[in-house]
Structure 1
């Protein structure tokens, strides 16, 4: 008589290049290209999510984060898809920053090399050393970049890049009222790139089969909704919905930048709500040659509008939301805002110097007042 028991086989996590598993929600994460950015959003970008970056009027800081995002994908071997109608894609790729080689050696590798000369018991000499494997895996996630240097041509030639700057328009009467034909060509290009690099999620994977090494498609859509796109502002949230539907069924992440100063508050609010991550870089405003003392030493505010709730009830909450950013010659930094010393030692408030009227200690009637001089 055959029993109805099945062997409980554990489904192993997929081996995906350049990712790590979050300890909080067991989600696959990829790096944004800025380790400090990864720390404030919970360790990195979750695979299958959409990151919204609101551009400032000069579009300098959003462009910098986009280049770091793409440069991280180049170093870990991720295929790229870049869509833009405002910028030359080849010029953008050629300006990707190179990895910072100074002070980037992991401490684990140093400790392993120093302890290799130590003598251990004979029974442990032939056991495999797993510490070096861990250090190699940790190097693959997150890199520091030198903003003063660009990638060498040899590295640029090996990039798996898909470009989209507009294409032949196919008129479809059934969907013309929802999305423009040009946006449909963009979505078709995204789907074709996912199929080309085998990035669609396959659910029918048994525990006994070997897990194949897969990759993550990094998509960057620049200045979506600018005048060159010729899209009505009401259609921008619809595009976000279409992108999220594709991302939820694929092994990919998408970064979208929008010129928020072109849209009304209602459109911006809907885009923030639909996206998974939403951040805004607000540059410091100089008035009469002076800057807000709270932003002294900073280039602007790093504002987090939304973080996702994936495999958990509440989203990740950083230690503080009072963050500022600054761009130095070699790196992009995010720091906690702190009051300078001259503001911390402020003068006393006026209400602290106010002395109220002296009340009489006698609580008798009208004729028993010992203090005849009333102070008003």
Structure 2
């Protein structure tokens, strides 16, 4: 009767533990990149924590995909998302290509936030800690104690602590661009025709965008490139012939081809004012079909400015939402996972709030209780002997 060690894999001679490890465990990724928990594709951060968690469970925007953000009205919440996206790329050392804007747009990027609220947050957490049984109080420390006891390589812990996937930005500060700057601006030509003749509408105004991207992608194949296109087809920035379908749709189709050709280098974020180009038009619907992800922002009236967060605000006194967010579709990678609003873990009722130190926060929308309805404000807690009191709640 033969015996075999339980720790040895069948078909291998010897019990070398290092041979059983996956080769991807020791693989290091460039700054700002990490694999998706669903299928292992490389993802980058959009610069907004809540938006990263919304992207179909991949906790980031996968390389080789594009995200179209539509916005109603005259506000610029989508522009803030584009600035966060560009600022995150600058901090991570990525190549950022701003298409259709001048260098003045890059001077408005938000600066890095400070970590001054760590001490106050710890005291606040201790005050609001739920009073539960003592056996469950230290349950969350099991993983950290196990990690402290397990041996680690000297370079692994230091590198993981320094690697930040998504930074915190403060709108009251301005990001100082390094020299040389990783941002490149390709403004669109709006020079008036002094020749006093009709402009040639057969020439696409987006040709310079595509030529720039193809040149930069071939010149630096090892870098990560972020393409930012704020206010696409806006009448204040683009000439009238840019809204012709043969120009706009061909540009998005060529951009989609570049994303598929360079799936590990290029990612794009586009903002579109749907007040000028409604979703009922065929041009906008085709633009949505040529984009991998589409989000729609519907701000509430009188919410043009970001909400100010007070330092001593409690969790019950949250900032009111400034608009609604709707998910039309998210990047889909294959038929087994990824994409769809259900995969993100949120419902259809989503609201957003732009806060100075927290950025754009996306969370489920819920109406506050009606004024004067004390039963709804107290939660309507009842038991068999009457209404629940504070003594009954604190166990």
TM-score after normalising by structure 2? 0.65
- 1:66 aligned to 2:79? no
Give deviations 1:81-103, integer Å, cap 9, x for gaps.
Answer: 1111xx5x221111111111215
Instruction: Answer yes or no: is the 8 Å Cα contact 2:110–2:174 preserved in 1.
Output: yes
**Counterpart for residue 328 of structure 1:** 355
Q: Could you tell me which of 225, 248, 252 is aligned with 1:217?
A: 225
Instruction: Answer yes or no: is the 8 Å Cα contact 2:319–2:353 preserved in 1.
Output: no
**Counterpart for residue 354 of structure 1:** none
**Counterpart for residue 209 of structure 1:** none
Gaps of 5+ in 2: 1-21, 119-140, 192-199, 304-317, 376-395
SS at match of 1:180: coil
Q: Could you tell me which of 47, 52, 69 is aligned with 2:63?
A: 47
- 1:268 aligned to 2:268? no
Alignment of 1:184-333 (within 5 A): 184-198=207-221, 214-227=222-235, 228-230=238-240, 231-235=242-246, 236-250=248-262, 251-264=265-278, 265=280, 266-285=282-301, 297-316=320-339, 317-320=343-346, 321-332=348-359, 333=361
Instruction: Answer yes or no: is the 8 Å Cα contact 1:146–1:331 preserved in 2.
Output: yes
- 1:341 aligned to 2:341? no
Shift of 1:345: 6.7
Give deviations 1:103-155, integer Å, cap 9, x for gaps.
Answer: 588xxxxx9xx99xx9x89xx7x964633332233x2x111111111113xx3
RMSD: 3.6
Shift of 1:344: 12
Shift of 1:281: 1.3
Alignment of 1:90-239 (within 5 A): 90-102=103-115, 128=154, 130-137=156-163, 139=164, 141-152=165-176, 155-166=177-188, 180-198=203-221, 214-227=222-235, 228-230=238-240, 231-235=242-246, 236-239=248-251
CA distance in 1, matches of 2:355, 2:227: 26
Gaps of 5+ in 1: 1-9, 106-110, 170-176, 199-213, 288-294, 348-376
Aligned residues: 290
Give deviations 1:49-88, integer Å, cap 9, x for gaps.
Answer: 111111333241011011100000011000111111xx5x
